[in-house]
Amino acid sequence: MSIQSPTKVLKEDLKAKLLQPDYISGSDILLRCLLLEGVDCVFGYPGGAVLNIYNAMHGNPDFNHLLTRHEQGAIHAADGYARTTGKVGICLATSGPGATNLVTGIATAYMDSVPLVVITGNVASNFIGTDAFQEADITGITMPITKHSYLVRNVEDLPRIIHEAFHIANTGRKGPVLIDIPKDISADKTIFKYVDTVNIRGYHPTMDPNKLQVDKIVKAIIAAERPVILAGGGVVYANASKELIEFVNLTQIPITTTLLGLSGFPSSHELWMGMPGMHGTYTANMAIQNADLLISIGARFDDRVTMKLDGFAPKAKIIHIDVDPAEIGKNVKTEIPCVGDVKVVLEYANTKVKSANSADWIAKIKQMKLDFPLKYIDSETELKPQFVIEVINETTKGEAIITTDVGQHQMWTAQYYKFNHPRSWVTSGGLGTMGFGFPSAIGAQMGNPGRLVVSINGDGGMQMCSQELAICSINKIPVKIVVINNQVLGMVRQWQEILYNNRESHIDLAGSPDFVKLAEAYGVKGLRATNKAEARQVWQEALDHDGPVLIDFVVRKEENVYPMVTAGSTISEMLMGDSE
């Protein structure tokens, strides 16, 4: 399989062919509609209820499908594709266990507002509700974790449903939409009529802000002396990074970016303070706690950012800009709400704003950054995970797409990797899904064939989807797969050390496989490093290799992520660690 570009544009002759009003099956209608929506890769796994769909794919040169080794791998790959391209990610699975294996990935995308169209097969319509073989009520099961879902009852409805699903997934607050297609519907035939309009009663996301609210924001900025911007993933999803940079330059307001907001603002900017919250920088947390104005842009005041709510930003007037009105006022009291698409809001605001009276505040921020940088105690005898991330950062110069799994390595990467471009950072924020990192990198690489994609994983999460090494080997997907191997569930161990008096319980991963041999078993190049010199050498070797590589970095087991804010504390109450 060749990796295709996500900017694929249908040729006019192909488009004309696809639009022909032929008498075709529901399966052929599905494939045509996906192609007409601009889909260039579907991640999936076949089974009985979707055999008609897979039969329609056979011999179809225009339809690109990547067979993963598990349905969870398929949906995480679709997620990584969507986050890095800005397009809707597509995955396909059969009924019953195939569909239920997608649930964790659907919840992951829902929590992080990622646009997916998830297509499942179901048993034939006349068997629905009879507990037929491999039947599961997937629309009911996923109702709380989808933006919308469809159970297709009539083949004539398929073109409309597919077009609506794409529209819903990728507008307003983005998210996953599920289409469940019974087997008889995928077989039924009708005259194909493409639908390219949308009229959904009750669904009209607010994109344009109330300009009076934006004017209030402008006045608040002028009056502020210690303003701070808190930018979240909404900036990235709205493609508003350019507008945010302009807003910061115009207002001269220091900025912190949440975990999902990383890459939405360049790390090299002099007013960037790092990430806030539980493992945020000293500067970002103290700036929030001492701010007199906090402007949240596309962030939802997650509990890992705010920590103890009644002690969060106690001196600040809160401004909240978000496309989802349900988020405003949900967690923190908001003085100036502004509902609208972040890009549209900032475009208008940039015509109005002036520099804040923030010179003294900026000087204090800069001094804090100098006095309290991120740091760790390096070692010449043991390999430190922070050093590994620093090496990756130095060699890629902020130009790579970085995906992570969940745990300590995720936080070290968020702290020590510096991003230049939006959509370069893929991680499971809201749900914290282990097993996400590696398959999401496969999707990112499929969507960005010309870019370096680095997947950073712990030794725990790597084992949850390691079977996807097969598709990297078979399809020559050149992801660089990093394993931060501390032989333990690191973040759980850290919590048990700090919060449970070192009572380590069921965290030992010492019986894990030899990751180099595991990679080689799948036909992927495997390398290992146990010290700093080896780390530099094998990482450069991996970069020089034109195919997929797995690098096993064996690091110190006892290393902790600092700063750290424990539950029940405010973000100014940071544990700074051994270097405190």
Q: In angstroms, what CA-CA distances link 239 with 34, 134, 236, 261?
A: 23, 41, 5, 12
Q: Rounded to an integer, what distance in angstroms lies between the CA atom of residue 236 and that of residue 213?
A: 22
- The pLDDT assigned to 222 comes to 95
Selection from 93, 348, 89 nearest residue 211 by Cα: 348
| Cβ atoms 580, 427 nearer than 8 A | no
Which residues in the chain come in under a pLDDT of 70? 1-9, 578-580
Would you say 41 and 70 are in contact if contact means Cβ atoms under 8 Å apart?
no
Helix-, strand-, coil-residue percentages of the chain, each rounded to 5: 40, 15, 45
Residues near 103 by beta carbon (within 8 Å), at least 6 away in sequence: 141, 142, 145
* Active-site residue (options: 434, 446, 491, 574): 491
DSSP 107-119: HHHHHHT--EEEE
The structure tokens listed for 476 are 């020559």
* Catalytic hit among 134, 213, 467, 496: 134
pLDDT at position 239:
98
Sign of CA dihedral 471, 477, 478, 483: negative
- Residue 3 is predicted with a pLDDT of 45
Q: In what order do the strands lie in the sheet with 227-231?
A: 255-257, 227-231, 293-297, 317-322, 336-339
Distance CA 392, CA 386 (A): 10
576 tagged catalytic: no
Report the candidate in 192, 147, 169, 167 with the shortest Cα–Cα distance to residue 30: 192
The answer for 329, left when phi > 0, alpha when psi is -120 to 50, beta otherwise, is left
At 422, which amino acid appears? P
**Annotated catalytic residue: which of 71, 135, 327, 390?**
71
Rounded to a whole number of angstroms, the distance between the first and last alpha carbons of the chain is 51
Based on the residue annotation, tell me whether 476 is a catalytic residue of this protein: no
- Selected catalytic residue, list 174, 183, 384, 480: 183
Q: Is 491 a catalytic residue?
A: yes
Half-sphere exposure in the Cβ direction for 76 (13 Å, CA): 32
The model's pTM is 0.96
Domains of the chain: 12-191 (3.40.50.970), 211-371 (3.40.50.1220), 385-561 (3.40.50.970)
Q: Is 133 a catalytic residue?
A: yes
pLDDT of 10 reads 75
Residue 58: CB atoms within 10 A of its CB come to 7
* Active site annotation includes 252: no
Pairing of strands 176-182, 148-151: parallel
- Catalytic site residue from 4, 11, 133, 219: 133
